[in-house]
Amino acid sequence: MRIVIQRVAHASVTINNTCKSAIGKGLLILVGIEEADGKEDIEWLCKKIVNLRIFDDEKGVMNKSVSDIDGNILVISQFTLHASTKKGNRPSYIKAAGHEISVPLYEEFCKELAIALGKEIGTGEFGADMKVELLNDGPVTICMDTKNKE
Closest CA to 115 of 29, 50, 58, 62: 50
Identify whether the C-beta of residue 4 lies closer than 8 Å to the C-beta of residue 143: yes
Q: Is 77 helix (H, G, I), strand (E, B) or coil?
A: strand
Active site amino acids: 78-80
Rounded to 5 degrees, φ, ψ at 124 are: -90, -155
